[in-house]
Amino acid sequence: MTSMNFFILGNQPTLALAEIASVVGKNHDYSLVTPEVLFLPDDDLNLSALQERLGSVIKTGLLLGELPKWDQQELAQLISAYSQEAPGKEKISFGISVYDVDKTTNNNELHKQLQRLGLETKKLLKETGRPIRYVSSKESVLSSVIVKTNQLLESGGEFVIFLFQNKVLVGQTVAVQNFEAWSERDYGRPARDAKSGMLPPKLARTMINLAGIDPKEKILLDPFCGSGTVLMEAVLLGCKEVIGSDISEKAMADTKKNMNWFSQNFLETRPNLLLFISPAQQLKEQYQTPVDLIITETYLGPPRKGKESENSLKEKMQEIETLVKDSLIELKDLLKNDGVMVFAFPLYLTDNKPIALPLKKLFDQLGFEVLNPIPESSKQLCLSLSPSGGIIYQREHQFIGREIIVFKKKY
Ligand SMILES: C[S@@+](CC[C@H](N)C(=O)[O-])C[C@H]1O[C@@H](n2cnc3c(N)ncnc32)[C@H](O)[C@@H]1O
Hey, whose CA ends up nearest to atom 15 of ligand 1? Answer: 299
Residues 233 and 261 in one domain: yes
Residues 143 and 214 in one domain: no
**pLDDT value at position 58?**
97
Q: Which of 126, 154, 179 is the last residue of a domain?
A: 179
Q: Which of 179, 205, 226 is the last residue of a domain?
A: 179
Residues 97 and 197 in one domain: no
Residues 344 and 254 in one domain: yes
109: how many CB neighbours lie within 10 A of its CB?
Answer: 10
How far, in Å, is the centroid of ligand 1 from the Cα of 398?
19
Half-sphere exposure of 172 (CA within 13 A, CB side): 21
Is residue 164 within 8 A of residue 101, CB to CB? The reply is yes
**pLDDT value at position 398?**
85
Residues 229 and 160 in one domain: no
Residues 133 and 216 in one domain: no
Residues 162 and 44 in one domain: yes
How far, in Å, is the centroid of ligand 1 from the Cα of 247?
7
How far, in Å, is the centroid of ligand 1 from the Cα of 51?
29
Please give the sequence-ordered ranges of beta strands (E in DSSP) within 139-272, or none if there are none.
156-163, 168-176, 219-222, 241-246
Q: Ligand 1 pocket by C-beta < 6 Å: which residues?
A: 196-199, 223-224, 226-227, 229, 246-248, 251, 279-281, 297, 299-300, 323
Residues 374 and 238 in one domain: yes
How far, in Å, is the centroid of ligand 1 from the Cα of 401?
16
How far is 234 from 208, CA to CA, in rounded Å?
A: 7
From first to last of its 411 residues, what are the pLDDT tens digits of the chain?
A: 789 999 999 889 999 999 999 999 988 999 999 989 999 999 899 999 999 999 999 999 999 999 999 999 999 999 999 998 876 568 999 999 999 998 888 888 899 999 999 999 999 999 988 899 999 999 999 999 999 999 999 989 999 999 999 999 999 999 999 999 999 999 999 998 877 778 999 999 999 999 999 999 999 999 999 999 999 999 999 999 999 999 999 999 999 999 999 999 999 888 999 999 999 999 999 999 999 999 999 999 998 888 888 999 999 999 999 999 999 999 999 999 999 999 999 999 988 889 999 999 999 999 999 999 888 888 766 566 888 889 999 888 889 999 999 999 997
Residues 167 and 203 in one domain: no
**pLDDT value at position 380?**
63
Nearest Cα to 407, choosing from 356, 346, 345?
345
Secondary structure class of 135 (helix, strand, coil): strand
**Domain at 199, CATH number:** 3.40.50.150
Find the helix or strand (DSSP H, E) in which 317 lies. helix 310-333
Hey, whose CA ends up nearest to atom 13 of ligand 1? Answer: 224
**For the chain, what is the domain count?**
2
How far, in Å, is the centroid of ligand 1 from the Cα of 40?
37
Distances (CA, A) of 304 to 112, 195, 316, 348, 350: 43, 10, 11, 9, 11
**Domain at 150, CATH number:** 3.30.2130.30
Question: 335-348 and 291-297 as β-strands: parallel, antiparallel, unpaired?
Answer: parallel
Instruction: Tell which one of 262, 299, 323 to mutate to probe ligand 1, the residue whose CB is within 8 A of the most ligand atoms.
Output: 299
Residues 226 and 91 in one domain: no
How far, in Å, is the centroid of ligand 1 from the Cα of 252?
10
**pLDDT value at position 198?**
83
Residues 198 and 171 in one domain: no
Boundaries of domain holding 174: 4-179
Q: Residue by residue, what is the 3-state secondary structure of 336-398? A: EEEEEEEEEEEEECCCCCCEECCHHHHHHHHCEEEECCCCHHHCCCCCCECCCCCEEECCCCC
Residues 193 and 124 in one domain: no
Q: Which of 179, 209, 231 is the last residue of a domain?
A: 179
Hey, whose CA ends up nearest to atom 10 of ligand 1? Answer: 299
How far is 350 from 124, CA to CA, in rounded Å?
A: 54
